[in-house]
Amino acid sequence: MKIFNFPMTYPTTAGTDIIDITGNVAEKVREAGINEGQALISVPGSTASITTIEYERGGVRDLLEALERLAPVGIAYRHDARWGGGNGYAHVRAALLGPSVTIPVAGGRLVLGTWQQLVLVDFDNHPRQRRIFLQISGL
Amino acid sequence: MKIFNFPMTYPTTAGTDIIDITGNVAEKVREAGINEGQALISVPGSTASITTIEYERGGVRDLLEALERLAPVGIAYRHDARWGGGNGYAHVRAALLGPSVTIPVAGGRLVLGTWQQLVLVDFDNHPRQRRIFLQISGL
Amino acid sequence: MKIFNFPMTYPTTAGTDIIDITGNVAEKVREAGINEGQALISVPGSTASITTIEYERGGVRDLLEALERLAPVGIAYRHDARWGGGNGYAHVRAALLGPSVTIPVAGGRLVLGTWQQLVLVDFDNHPRQRRIFLQISGL
């Protein structure tokens, strides 16, 4: 069994960013040379998540609107009352969506649908250099 | 370490289907002969998810109603405006629930609760032959 | 490759409990002596979930309020109509949040953000001895 760790960094803007990371992850899978195994993509941090979506402008906007219904930016958050920062909504969204996703690798490739992309969802309200952590393991 | 890949297919109907896949996954765990490790169950596609629930008619209906509150079928989705198809709600639901779940295997068995079942949740609005990908790995 | 299983138990109270389990998980990672690999934390059961959050009183309350919007305690659930128990909301919440989370281990440590904690979220409406199952694997 082999295990490879790939820390990666994405610049994000203010407000919820949804960034397609599929190409970078697929490239690291090839680089790792794993045939069968898995790619664990995780975000160390409490204001971002990883998920998958068909990455096209319409669906991405639809997801943003659903997140706004789930944990609106404009309501009162106790996190903000205690600590300021105004990103209470981001903490709630990240806890609901979760910090990591695992995708199987088979035949040397990520097992994803044709129209399915891996995305980093950064909820935070200021620009960041967002670190994610990709671990590829297998045979 | 051994890794086994099991592609599986389930016929689904129009509208959100919640299908109990526990028996099939458990059978493949026995077939793989893994004692300690994990079962990664994933859906290659952007309109379905994997999760767990007590699989009884009441709770399944409750989950469907919660999904309807989270991303209603009847509202306007930009995905539909751009691409048609009318399954914009399915894309949003799948992104929120996520594409995969990992369950530990110990003593040769899936570590699940007595009343906990693994389910494929297919959100799409037309019948499909839905493929899922089960990867069992361990010692 | 080595695999270690750690069943753990947490006492919970009535109503949704959010319990910081980071310290216990980190301790088991050290005990396992894994350098590179992963920690799979799962809940065998259908009324609890695992996720991560910045564990401070404000954000924890915000998450509880969001869960209450997502699947309110006070509405009618078919699960309750059929089986009684009054924890229909707990089943729905657990299915939406999911039963497990995987966190990478690198350099012998959990890869988490500075302000990110692993939490057990127990939705059930009566006190329990809640079992979780931690599996640490790697090299």
Rounded Cα distance between A111 and A104, Å, is 6
Tokens representing B120 are: 């494929």
Contacting subunits of A (3+ beta carbon pairs below 8 A): B, C
User: Is B26 at the interface with chain C, CB within 8 A?
Assistant: no
> For residue A35, what pLDDT band results from cuts at 50, 70 and 90?
very high
CB of A117 closer than 8 Å to CB of A54: yes
Chain C closest-CA separation from residue A58 CA (Å): 23
Instruction: Report the amino acid identity of residue B90.
Output: A
HSE, CB side, 13 Å, CA atoms: give it for residue C81.
Answer: 10
Q: Which of C50, C43, C13, C24 is nearest to C126 (CA)?
A: C13
Q: Classify domain C2-138 by CATH number.
A: 2.60.120.460
- Among residues 69-88 of chain C, which lie with CB inside 8 Å of chain B? 70-71, 77-83, 88
Q: State whether residue C66 is helix, strand or coil.
A: helix
Percent of chain A with pLDDT over 70: 100
Determine whether the interchain pair B63/C92 forms a contact, defined as Cβ–Cβ distance below 8 Å: yes
pLDDT in tens, A100-134: 999 999 999 999 999 999 999 999 999 999 999 99
Chain B closest-CA separation from residue A12 CA (Å): 20
pLDDT in tens, B22-66: 999 999 999 999 999 999 999 999 999 999 999 999 999 999 999
> For residue A21, what pLDDT band results from cuts at 50, 70 and 90?
very high
> For residue A17, what pLDDT band results from cuts at 50, 70 and 90?
very high
Determine whether the interchain pair B79/A54 forms a contact, defined as Cβ–Cβ distance below 8 Å: yes
> For residue C7, what pLDDT band results from cuts at 50, 70 and 90?
very high
Say whether pTM exceeds 0.90.
Answer: yes
pLDDT in tens, B60-111: 999 999 999 999 999 999 999 999 999 999 999 999 999 999 999 999 999 9
Angle between helices C57-70 and A57-70 (to 10 degrees): 110
Distances (CA, A) of B88 to A137, B80, C102: 34, 6, 29
pLDDT in tens, A42-80: 999 999 999 999 999 999 999 999 999 999 999 999 999
Who contacts C74 (Cβ-Cβ below 8 Å, separation ≥6)? none
Which position has the token pair 């760790």? A5
Q: Which strand ranges, in their side-by-side order, compose the sheet holding A17-20?
A: A17-20, A117-122, A48-53
C84 burial (CB, 10 Å; 0-12 / 13-18 / 19+) is exposed
pLDDT in tens, C16-66: 999 999 999 999 999 999 999 999 999 999 999 999 999 999 999 999 999
From chain B, pick out residues whose CB is under 8 angstroms from the CB of C40: 38, 102, 104
